[in-house]
Amino acid sequence: MIDAADLTARLIRCPSVTPEEGGALVLLGDMLHQAGFETHRIDRGGTPNLFARWGAKGRPALGFNGHTDVVPPGDLGSWTHPPFSGHVEDGLIWGRGATDMKSGVAAFTAAAIDFITETPPDGAVILTITGDEEGPSTHGTSAIIDWMEENGERMQACIVGEPSNPDAMGEMMKIGRRGSATYRIRATGLQGHAAYPHRARNPLHTLTRYLNDLIAAPLDSGSDHFEPSGLQIVSVDCGNPASNVIPERASAVVNIRFNDLHTAASLAEELTRRAAVLGDETGVVLNIDADVSGEAFVTEPGPFVDLVRDVVEQQTGRRPILSTSGGTSDARFIKDLCPVVEFGLVGHFMHQVDERVPQAQVRQLKMIYQRILERFFA
């Protein structure tokens, strides 16, 4: 049997800060190949990725997804133990990625190998592991999915092993995620002297009116599986060092986390419509550019969601809440391939100095994944 806690410590010792592979995918690829998995490195655009399948292509397959890249450790002197030491003490594993999410990858890798070794299923087990989830994610899981589609690889369902529980194992599983889009607003007016505003068109006055209109009322009241959408102004700038000059240009950035009542395109259309109305009134031109991280999606409750939920309850004594909270994850790519849910560890210490995780929790997660595999192929 593979100890998922020990594997977590070994993975932490691989310094895989995005986009560096750091040896983590090599370690996992070797383990999986030795266990009988067919493995492929699917590197694209300088991003390392790993695909592994046990069982014949085309057979009913359960998939797992995760990432081995981690955020930078910050000030090394602030750590109790070096961030890439994988130090183990008093039942805790210390290091960058201990929570997010080398432990989750270790748990489903160990569960998959032990499962196919002890009880080989009439089907396939697929692992998709990327080296870029914490960064731009342009050539990470999306590259693996592109490769799968080109090569006829299919999953009937998938579990993303991201930390999903706020405070205790079994509290929560994710069945969807809000969409995320960033909109950059550029206002162009007419520069002039601050003492003669009638000879200028102040882009800041128009831009601030526009922003105030955006936050004056909620975008919606939520939907069946989602909380209300949220819009946050995250930047306003004009780059003007002079107090006696009305600037020609100003800009702002807003981020919208939206539910399934909207799409990134429908929001862009509404923002552009409002900009045109105000521009006609003031003579200041407002242009909108969009950067979309992902659309809102939900995996409707049904047999697969119930299977995962039942196993989690059996193993933890808690029936997890079905949630769509939080930021984006790579589930936003997998949703186009098959039903997907997220279940992993407790999310304490993610991205923090002294990131750490209890060994017992990692071993419990491995057992949950192994029981899910058993139920899926029963």
The pLDDT of residue 180 is 96
What is the tally of structural domains in the chain? 2
**Which CATH number fits the domain that encloses residue 62?**
3.40.630.10
Low-confidence ranges of the chain (pLDDT < 50): none
Q: How far is CA 378 from the centre of its chain?
A: 30
Single residue among 236, 260, 294 that ends a domain in this structure: 294
Do 61 and 169 lie in a common domain? Answer: yes
Supply the range of the domain harboring residue 36. Answer: 4-177+296-376
Do 117 and 188 lie in a common domain? Answer: no
Catalytic residues: 69, 133
Do 236 and 304 lie in a common domain? Answer: no
The pLDDT of residue 327 is 87
CA distance 179 to 263: 8
For the whole prediction, is pTM greater than 0.85? yes
**Which CATH number fits the domain that encloses residue 214?**
3.30.70.360
| Helix 264-282 / helix 203-215 crossing angle, nearest 10 deg | 140
The pLDDT of residue 221 is 97
Single residue among 256, 276, 294 that ends a domain in this structure: 294
Provide the total of helices (H) and of strands (E) in the chain, helices listed first: 9, 19
Do 155 and 32 lie in a common domain? Answer: yes
Token code pair at residue 156: 């009937």
What CA dihedral angle connects 61, 23, 139 and 19, to 10 degrees?
150
Do 261 and 316 lie in a common domain? Answer: no
**pLDDT tens per residue across span 51-66:** 999 999 999 999 999 9
**Residues 18-50: b if buried by 16+ CB within 10 A, e if exposed:** bbbbbebbebbbebbeebebebbebebeebbbb
Contact between 249 and 187 under an 8 Å Cβ cutoff? The reply is yes
**Which position has the token pair 């997220």?**
342
Contact between 65 and 158 under an 8 Å Cβ cutoff? The reply is yes
